[in-house]
Amino acid sequence: MRVRLIDPHAPTWSAELDRIGLRLRERDAATLFPYHFLQVTLPRIGGCAAWIEEDGTRIGAGFIFPRQRDRGGAHVFTMRYHFFRGIPVPPREELAEATRDAMAGQDVFVYDPSAMQAYASTHKSYGPVEIGRPDADEAASIPALHAAIWGSPPEFIYPADMHSINFAAATSLVARVQGKPVGFLSGFAKFGGRPLPADWDARFGGDYRVESQIMGVLSAYRGLRIAYLLKKAQAEQAWREGIGVINWTADPLQYPNAALNFGLLRAVAYNFIPDLYPFRNNLNRVAASRFSLTWLVGSARVQADPMATAQSHVLDLAHHPEIVRVNDGCEQFAHAPDAHIIAIEIPANWTLLQSDDVPAAMRWREATDALFARLIGPDEGRYVVTNAAVHGERRFLVAERAGAALWARLGEE
């Protein structure tokens, strides 16, 4: 048996995923990850795909996920495998050995997503909300919860078994109200990532992180700060396990997300990725541009806010005339900002705008993509998004000039 890795950075990556999908989709739809995750996120976390071959014939395929870092600091991976119809499954150790050979001897845990899995439910209460790992029934309900929150078709839904003990996702949390699952958060171990500024790599362990991938809460329960509690529980778990950095992507034009990510969680954004995802849906009817967020979960800035009673840091620009605005709606101001701190206007209701007026949404996306590409970045003289702001009914992102002083303040322990 031979495991042949597929280079996720090669120009044939998407075509290879298409070939795997054609062989597996009908038989293994419930255990396959969404195409957009495999295409974009799996490589970003340090994973890849592979063909499984016998005597030169393809007999299956697998997806290799970062799993953990062992006590000696070595990386451990999960080989999530699928064999084609009619192919007998070989011994696990034979597959593990072939995968280790392909990966130059790195440690690999082989995982069958179609097998019966074990789950370990946990519970911690915050008023009426309970946060913890899902049990088997709750894990099975998360795909339906995902579909209800986003209205997503089956091919966009993540498999339920990823919440099992054996798959060992870095984050698997469910929020319950009166025993009912009403929200969830999932994340993955990540080896490496975009460079961290200053000395953050050394102090927060930037080579081993969590990529927080998907979080949702039923609309009827959004007044209970469930998203905030899920994220803080994720941060506490990561910090206990020696992980100091959590990354995720967010649409920069979704103000409620900005208020949560910057105003409550105190994450920052200095990487902008235009049109990151290939999909289009009700929440992404125009180009799916994203910020990549960095959350230093061990920093004083993040640790200072108590989990149950944290207050938002969102600014009211009526009280901050020193903050320079760089746009008025879709219109950019001609001058290049030289201020220490700036405000970038975003739509007041991006979801509604995409639903009601796609041409206007496209204008907003094009205008703000140009602004973010020009202004946001970690280099000296560019800007880092550190907060959100309001002024009456208008909504803004607040960004501070990048540089040694800012990195030192954000990274204080």
pLDDT digits (tens, 9 = 90+) for 110-120: 999 999 999 99
In a domain, 379, yes or no: yes
| For range 144-167, the mean pLDDT | 94
The answer to whether residues 161 and 290 belong to one domain is no
On average, the pLDDT of the chain sits at: 93
Provide the pLDDT for residue 28. Answer: 80
The answer to whether residues 150 and 106 belong to one domain is no
The answer to whether residues 261 and 214 belong to one domain is no
In a domain, 234, yes or no: no
Provide the pLDDT for residue 308. Answer: 67
In a domain, 230, yes or no: no
The answer to whether residues 17 and 139 belong to one domain is no
The answer to whether residues 133 and 217 belong to one domain is yes
pTM for the structure as a whole: 0.94
Least confident of 197-206, 209-218, 223-232: 197-206
Provide the pLDDT for residue 319. Answer: 97
Residue 276's domain comprises 251-413
pLDDT digits (tens, 9 = 90+) for 292-318: 999 999 999 998 877 767 788 999 999
Ramachandran assignment for 39, one of left (phi > 0), alpha (psi -120 to 50 degrees), beta (any other) = alpha
In a domain, 235, yes or no: no
Number of domains the chain is built from:
3
| For range 37-42, the mean pLDDT | 95
Provide the sign of the torsion angle of the four alpha carbons 387, 183, 234, 223, taken in this order. Answer: positive
